[in-house]
């Protein structure tokens, strides 16, 4: 039986080996990204371990999912940026930013299956220095319609399969953006079209999994979605991944960040 689930991976579960053998899974059916191809992609970390994905939207601001926000752990939160190499459990000084504030949407509904308002922000202690490998992503505007039928790109360090592990290299996968109606129908009304959009393939086999939460879904370089929830098994046929719709929260983002 399918069950709805958030795609979060807590730090105490980030094990990189099985029976002593290293395994390298990834976004379901993704491929390795190269440094600089997605300069906005970051790893949100607690105690040095990957928890969620996120995107750079300003020199001191990261966009992620609300369920990736643990306000009580702000002093143990960091953001890995400017590299495709996860370096899980390590905190390379040149690629790690300290966090000063964690903001969860005040109307986030942490209840299955809808998880409405699943959006959060991370404020960094010091501004990032932009270069070829560190850049903010463009955000969909409030009036932007869902780009139904277009090809989107999801990037993240999530599992390739259920009960897998995080990969070392950032993964990329192309997904089809569903129309609002198709998204609503695929999830039998549990995906709410005013706050959600869907991406995947009817036949399944590609998409998000555990560890991809908070990561960006872009279309032609503009972020339209934030990984929120899906059903198990990951990328199952008929059940596209569900994303928080950036256009719905554009004003909220501006009110909190000025961006």
The three-state DSSP-derived secondary structure of the chain is: CCEEEECCCCHHHCCCEECCEECCCCCECCEECCCCCCCCEEEEEECCEEEEEEEEEECCEEEECHHHCCHHHHHHEEEECCCCECCCCCCCHHHEEEEEEEEECCCCCCCCCCCCCCCEEEEECCCCCCECCECCCEECCCCCCCCCCCEEEEEECCCCCCCCCCCCECEEEEEEECCHHHHHHHCCCCCCCCCEEEEECCCCCCECCCCCCCCEEEECCEEEEEEEEEEECCCCCCCCEEEEEHHHHHHHHHHHHCC
Domain contains 145: yes
Asked, for residue 16, whether it belongs to a domain, the answer is no
Give CA–CA dist 60/128, Å, rounded: 6
Which of 155, 154, 199 lies closest to 177, judged by CA? 199
128 with 149, same domain?
no
Whether 187 is a known active-site residue: answer no
164 & 237 share domain: yes
Q: Which two tokens stand for residue 48?
A: 């040095």
As a whole number of angstroms, the distance between CA 182 and CA 97 comes to 39
Whether residue 132 is contained in a domain is answered as: yes
Do both 97 and 196 map to the same domain?
Answer: no
For 18-37, what is each residue's pLDDT tens digit? 232 222 334 787 899 999 99
Verify that 142 and 238 share a domain, yes or no.
Answer: yes
Q: Across the strands, what pairs with 42?
A: 54
pLDDT of residue 93: 85
Which residue has better confidence, 209 or 6? 209
Note whether 171 and 27 are within 8 A (CB). Answer: yes
In the prediction, which pLDDT does 23 show? 27
Please, are residues 56 and 47 in contact by the beta-carbon 8 Å criterion? no
Of 6, 43, 50, 118, the active-site residue reads 118
Which residues form the domain of 234?
A: 138-247
- Catalytic residue (one of 50, 67, 105, 196): 67
Same-domain status, 60 and 124: yes
Q: Residue 108: pLDDT above 70?
A: yes
Q: Is 67 noted as a catalytic residue in this protein?
A: yes
Tens of pLDDT, residues 126-147: 999 999 999 999 999 998 999 9
Least Cα distance to 211 among 156, 155, 152, 154 occurs for: 156
Is pLDDT of 190 > 80? Answer: yes
Residue 34 falls within a domain, yes or no? Answer: no
Residues 82 and 163 in one domain: no
Tell the residue number behind the tokens 């505007």, with chain if given: 141
Which candidate in 55, 114, 165, 213 is catalytic? 213
Tell me if 215 is assigned to some domain. Answer: yes
Q: Domains in the chain: how many in total?
A: 2
- 112 shares its domain with 123: yes
Is residue 142 annotated as part of the catalytic site, yes or no? Answer: no
- Clarify whether residues 220 and 143 are in a common domain: yes
* Pair 88, 149 in one domain: no
78 and 132 both lie in a single domain: yes
Identify whether 32 is part of a domain: no
pLDDT at 186 over 60: yes
CATH number of the domain where residue 76 is located: 2.40.10.10
Both 62 and 147 in one domain: the answer is: no
Query: Do 128 and 144 share a domain, yes or no?
Result: no
- Is pLDDT larger for residue 93 or for residue 214? 214
pLDDT value at 5 more than 90? no
């Amino acid at each position: 039986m399918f069950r709805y689930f958030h795609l979060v991976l807590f730090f105490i579960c980030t094990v990189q080996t099985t029976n002593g053998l290293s395994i390298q899974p990834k976004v379901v059916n993704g491929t390795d990204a190269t440094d600089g191809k997605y300069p906005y992609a970051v790893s949100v970390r607690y105690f040095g371990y990957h928890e969620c994905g996120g995107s750079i939207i300003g020199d001191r601001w990261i966009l992620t999912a609300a369920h990736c926000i643990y306000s009580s752990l702000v002093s143990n939160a960091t953001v890995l940026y400017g590299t495709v190499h996860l370096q899980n459990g390590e905190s390379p000084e040149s690629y790690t930013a300290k966090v000063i504030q964690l903001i969860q949407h005040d109307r986030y509904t942490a209840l299955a299956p809808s998880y409405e308002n699943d959006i959060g922000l991370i404020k960094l202690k010091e501004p990032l220095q932009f270069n070829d490998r560190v850049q903010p992503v463009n955000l969909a505007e409030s009036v932007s319609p869902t780009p139904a039928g277009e090809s989107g790109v999801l990037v993240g360090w999530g599992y390739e399969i259920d009960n897998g592990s995080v990969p070392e290299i950032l993964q990329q996968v192309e997904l089809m953006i569903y129309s609002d109606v198709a998204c609503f129908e695929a999830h039998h009304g549990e995906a709410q079209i005013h706050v959600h959009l869907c991406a995947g393939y009817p036949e399944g086999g590609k998409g998000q999994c555990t560890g991809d939460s908070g990561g960006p879904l872009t279309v032609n370089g503009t972020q339209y979605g934030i990984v929120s929830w899906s059903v198990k098994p990951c990328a199952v046929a008929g059940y596209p991944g569900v994303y928080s719709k950036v256009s719905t929260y554009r004003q909220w983002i501006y009110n909190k960040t000025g961006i």
